[in-house]
């Protein structure tokens, strides 16, 4: 089992910034991918960004150039720096951990961007 604890969501005005954090604990394998997904009301959950333990990253086109994902392997923590936020970024953001056999989700943190 892997436990994911997220923090850093909140309310921000358009153009502002937020930083999300997700700390993983439990049975963490050396080869894993951690990432952030989001789900807006009435929409499907979608990938925002993900990062391998080695530092390779993928981003949704909608956030490229505005969001940056990073991780601290020593702390088993992944971060999402969100800049130039837009109202359409409003969603519940979920941390995700995947290794060769398991897939775990955090409880989600609300991000609301006001216009």
- The per-residue pLDDT for 30 is 82
Beta strand pairing call for 77-82 and 18-26: antiparallel
- Taking CA atoms, 112 is separated from 3, 10, 45, 50, in Å, by 25, 6, 16, 21
β-partners of residue 77 are 23, 72
> Which residues on neighbouring strands pair with residue 105, listed in sequence order?
96
- How does pLDDT run across 40-98, given as a tens digit for each residue? 999 999 999 999 999 999 999 999 999 999 999 999 999 999 999 999 999 999 999 99
Instruction: Note the residue count of the chain.
Output: 115
- The helix/strand/coil state of 87 is helix
CB contact set of 30 (below 8 Å; sequence gap of 6+): 53
93/47 Cα distance (integer angstroms): 10
Distance from chain centroid for Cα 79: 7
Q: Work out the pLDDT band at 28, boundaries 50, 70, 90.
A: confident
């Amino acid at each position: 089992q892997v436990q994911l604890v997220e923090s850093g969501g909140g309310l921000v005005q358009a153009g502002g910034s937020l930083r999300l954090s997700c700390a993983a604990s439990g049975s963490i394998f050396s080869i894993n991918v951690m990432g952030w997904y989001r789900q807006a009301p009435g929409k499907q959950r979608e990938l925002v960004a993900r990062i391998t333990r080695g530092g390779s990253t993928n981003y949704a086109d909608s956030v490229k150039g505005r969001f940056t994902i990073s991780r601290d392997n020593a702390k088993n923590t992944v971060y999402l720096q969100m800049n130039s936020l837009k109202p359409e970024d409003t969603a519940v953001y979920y941390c995700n951990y995947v290794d060769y056999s398991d897939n775990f989700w955090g409880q989600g943190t609300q991000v609301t961007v006001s216009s």
